[in-house]
Structure 1
Amino acid sequence: MLRFAPSPTGDMHIGNLRAAIFNYIIAKQKDKKFLIRIEDTDLSRNIEGKDKEILSTLNLFGLLWDELIYQSHNFPKHRNFADYLIKKNKAFYCYCTKEFLERKKQEALELKIPFRYDNSWAEIQKSQNPNPVIRLKGSDEPICFNDSIKGDLEFAPNELDSFVILREDGIPTYNFACACDDMIYNIDFIVRGEDHVSNTPKQILVQKSLDYDKEIGYAHLPIILGETGKKMSKRDSASSVNWLLEQGFLPQAIINYLISMGNKTPVEIFSLEDALKWFDINHIAKSPVKFDIKRLRYINREHLKKLDENQIALLLNSKDITIGAIAKLYLEEASTLNEIRKKIDMIFSPKNIMAEYEGESFEGECKKLFKVLCAMEAENTECLNQYETFKNEAMQRSDLKGKKFFKPLRILLSGESHGVDLNSLYPYLRFYLKKILQIKGEE
């Protein structure tokens, strides 16, 4: 079984989504079950409703799970495991207060040495502290494991001092709950971010102490860098999956991009189903990858091109196939649903003829041509059927020529002075001329 284990403490980060995608793909490739484990052990940071939002997002991306569990439901099992470790003398009660430990950390800092917990401290404050934590005894030997991306990794005993597995309130710590649940659900392979590399030896130590000898596979994904070259943080808008969706990026395009980051793929544009046939976690680059919004925009446009008029219209919340056809034309210059929506909104909104377009004003010409076009629309003559006859009739009636005709015509029909070829656009616009012919101030 493979698992994706999000915490309901905030919006989903693209790094988390990338890990979810890879776990899902490997599960399908190996014909294993895909488990979602909501890691809700940090009760003070959990945000109500975030779990549902996470599940909704995974569903939107087609990452359908076979099992869903909440980590907090396993608290009784975690406590039983802790009791077992106490009985086997592999864990112990620690009565150190937070103030005592903080003093020790400061002393280490002043001596310029790494802070390490000393097991002899465990009962020094037993009379002062009625609520001890439980610590797992540190390792006497190196902890080694193979990472499918980073290769063989080794952690020396001095890097694994005795650590807390059960807090004073009986709530398990992250590493303990995680290690126990990976045992309980017989997890085979784990893909997660490289910020978890230091957690992995602790989790392996927990499992070894519990006499669990199954060797779990690991792959720790390199961090994703922002445009500045620093680690992408929550402050970077593009790091949020919700933000990308709100901007009009398609789930299938985001998947395409995240799979291709730091990875040589056999084709440039592909679906999740395509990736199931050739994806190999061992081919992911070891070095950090930079998030390239321009690259994502290109991939998004290519996926939009694959959709038919009906599909695009529905994505734009319209049942009118003509809107979908107009949207397809705007893929020459737009790459997200929001950009397309903006272009279409400009067509059907009152036009600002008083504005300057490319440093020039066409107000007078727009007013003159507007009257001509309104008259033509009202007459509903055959000249409206084809762009050439429509254009020629409008030019003749307005007595405008060249740029003084074409710029105002484009402004009145599209709200812009340049863009998609009117010859291609007009066959769809002609059905809506009455609605399109509006100018600001005369609504």
Structure 2
Amino acid sequence: MIRTRFAPSPTGFLHIGGVRTALFSWAYARKNQGTFVLRIEDTDLERSTPESVKAILDGMHWVGLDYDEGPFYQTQRFDRYKEVIQQLLASGHAYYCYCSKDELDALRAEQEAKGEKPRYDRRWRPEQGKTLPAPPEGVPPVVRFKTPLTGSVAWDDAVKGRIEFQNEELDDLIIARPDGSPTYNFCVVVDDWDMNITHVIRGDDHVNNTPRQINILQALNAPLPVYGHLPMILNEDGQKMSKRRDAVSVVDYAAKGILPEALLNYLARLGWGHGDDEFFSLEQFVEWFDLKDVSPSASRFNNEKFLWLNAQHIKAADNLRLAQLIAPKLAEAGIDPSSGPCLSDVIALVKERVQDLNALAAECDYFYKTREPAAADVEKHLADDSKARMARFAEQLAALTEWNAEAIHHLFKPFCTAEGIKMGQLGMPLRVLVCGTTQTPSVDAVLALIGKDEVLRRMGQAQA
């Protein structure tokens, strides 16, 4: 049974790199009829906050990645961690270290002065024939894992291929702090073991943690999961994405009017591909996904392509759903959609023109309120002769017994012929007068949706 997990730390927002990790872990479980687990790694008591936990849960809900088990919280499992630490101490795979912070700082300074790699010198590590000093009074010890001194740790990474570390390069990892609280690398091992995680899919910033975690699992005679380390997401300049420069939080993308399925679609294409397919559903992604197709190289986030993809998802989305999504945005602008045409009908007409939901809401506003046109548009398209022409066309609109796009359209050609003008000389002033802009869909369809009374009111009001 395949079991994957997403294990964020609640020390801030839900990063899109984390969302991609969750997506790939989720998809692998779904593809293999497995189980997807959500675990909150909140052992950093100083930085973890309830607000960050909520941001993670809300972000997972927004993108639609449902988990089968959890959320599990590491802070609720401290008794279990202490039990395993005692097991390692009893088996000789861990030991107490009484070094003070001052001693460790002095050791580091000495090693750096000699040009050596800073590392703990294992002075409290018990070895055959070695005599340890008496534990100093008043110094609460840490617990260190007894890393093998020789040999290597190797694994076949599901993304990066064969990776190997020499044990002599690894330190004796602290697995419990002086206050007895367990450390991150140790908790992860116990969690993955207890939760029967078969595949650990995570960012490649964890590669250096993996040999340490494998050594601990082997000391516990626990099964090793398959590891797959995903490449980093870079911004368009090839730099690591940061909150200062880039939109990296799920909340940022929601505020920018991005559809969650568009974000997942784009993140899926960062480091993975299925031929030339760019636009696809979550169901298609699950069907196609395989870890062997994930690239080991970093990917660049391309905003232009991302917005194009969001536009494709808006075009494909159900209009009633889009109406529900933009109704709050219209309300913020003081617009009540119930006061005018059916919002989903308006969306059906204008959604081909936008790349995000904010633009979609803005594109809908003139259907419900009179928009003040730009002075340049008034000067260009509503000179005195154009105003008089609009008054004559308003009379023809008022005479229509049926009000629909087809009936309105049938007025255009005869009117232009009678006036001796081209369609643009009718359409542009009409748009500016009724909609307050020169950029609209087909003007007959727009007028039909706004409604006869409102169109005539706007034309009369604008001329007055």
User: Normalization by structure 1: what TM-score?
Assistant: 0.88
* Residue 230 of structure 1: aligned partner: 239
1:313 aligns with 2:323: yes
Q: Distance in 2 between matches of 1:16 and 1:289?
A: 14
1:261 to 264, 270, 287: 270
- Compute the RMSD of aligned alpha carbons: 3.4
- Structure 2 counterpart of 1:382: 401
Partner of 1:324: 344
Cα offset for 1:424? 3.9
SS in 1 for 2:324: helix
Contact 1:366 1:412 in 2 (8 A): no
Determine if contact 1:136/1:163 at 8 Å carries over to the other structure: yes
Distance 1:350 1:440, change over 3 A: farther
Matched, 1:239 2:214: no
Q: Distance in 2 between matches of 1:247 and 1:124?
A: 62
Whole-angstrom distance in 1 between the partners of 2:153 and 2:213: 10
* Alignment CA distance shift 1:94-1:436 (3 Å): farther
Q: Percent identity?
A: 32
- Kept in 2, the 8 Å contact 1:365–1:404? The answer is no
Residue of 78, 88, 96 corresponding to 1:85? 88
SS at 2:95 equivalent: strand
Letter in 1 for 2:408: Y
Stretch of structure 1 that moved more, 262-271 or 178-187: 262-271
Structure 1 residues 184 and 328, CA gap change in structure 2 (3 angstroms)? same
Paired positions, count: 441
Superposed displacement of residue 405, structure 1: 4.6
CA contact (8 A) 1:223 1:288 kept: yes
- The answer to whether the 8 A contact 2:394-2:456 is kept is no
Question: Counterpart of 1:301 in structure 2: which amino acid?
Answer: A
**Displacement after TM superposition at 1:155 (Å):** 0.7
Shift, 1:179, TM fit: 0.6
Q: Aligned with 1:238: secondary structure? A: coil
5+ residue gaps in structure 2? 126-131, 328-336
Q: Which residue of 2 aligns with 1:108?
A: 111
Aligned counterparts of 1:436 and 1:91: Cα–Cα separation in 2: 83
Bigger mean CA deviation after superposition, 79-88 or 364-373: 364-373
The equivalent residue for 1:201 is 211
1:16 and 2:18 aligned: yes
Give, as a single letter, the amino acid of the residue that structure 2 aligns with 1:144: A
CA deviation digits over 1:395-434, x for unaligned, max 9?
A: 8999997766533321233332234232343332336735
| Partners of 1:37 and 1:70 within 8 A in 2 | yes
> Which amino acid is the alignment partner of residue 40 of structure 1?
D
Q: Secondary structure at the match of 2:123?
A: helix
In structure 2, C-alpha distance between the alignment counterparts of 1:232 and 1:366, rounded to whole Å: 55
Q: How does 1:20-419 map to 2 (within 5 A)?
A: 20-68=22-70, 69-120=72-123, 126-127=135-136, 129-140=138-149, 141-212=151-222, 214-266=223-275, 267-317=277-327, 322-357=342-377, 361-362=380-381, 364=383, 368=387, 372=391, 381-382=400-401, 385=404, 386-388=407-409, 405-419=426-440
Give the secondary structure class of the aligned counterpart of 1:49: helix
Aligned pair 1:427/2:448, yes or no? yes
Distance 1:313 1:431 in 2: 23
1:365 and 1:177, CA in 2 relative to 1: closer, same or farther beyond 3 A?
Answer: farther
Q: C-alpha displacement at 1:36, in angstroms?
A: 0.6
**In 2 relative to 1, CA 88–308 (structure 1 residues): closer, same or farther, beyond 3 Å?**
closer
Q: Which runs of 5+ in 1 are unaligned?
A: none
- 2: distance between equivalents of 1:131 and 1:83? 16
2:129 alignment partner in structure 1: none
Quickly say closer, same or farther: Cα 1:412–1:170, change in 2 above 3 A. Answer: farther
For 2:330, the equivalent position in structure 1 comes to none
Match in the other structure for 2:331: none
Whether contact under 8 Å (1:96, 1:126) holds in the other structure is no
User: In 1, Cα distance between the equivalents of 2:440 and 2:105?
Assistant: 64
Distance 1:163 1:438 in 2: 77
Greater shift in the superposed pair: 10-19 or 124-133: 124-133
| Alpha-carbon separation, structure 1, partners of 2:409 and 2:290 | 54
Post-superposition Cα deviations, 1:100-158, rounded to whole Å, max 9, x if no partner, equal 22232233333222111111157779436522111111222211111111101001112
Residues 239-287 of structure 1, C-alpha deviation per residue, up to 9 Å, x if partnerless?
Answer: 2111111211111111111112222215332211112222111111111
- Looking at structure 2, the residues matched to 284 and 439 of structure 1 have their Cα atoms a distance apart, in angstroms, of 62
- 8 A Cα contact 1:352 1:439, kept in partner: no
How far, CA to CA, are the matches of 2:389 and 2:185 in structure 1? Answer: 69
In structure 2, what residue type is equivalent to 1:135?
R
Aligned residue identity for 2:12: G
SS in 2 for 1:143: strand
Query: Normalization by structure 2: what TM-score?
Result: 0.84
Counterparts of 2:423 and 2:137 in 1: how far apart (Å)?
91
SS in 2 for 1:423: helix
Q: Given residue 85 of structure 1, which amino acid in structure 2 is its aligned partner?
A: L
Deviations 1:30-60 (A, max 9, x none): 2221111011111111122332332232233
More moved, 416-425 vs 2-11: 416-425
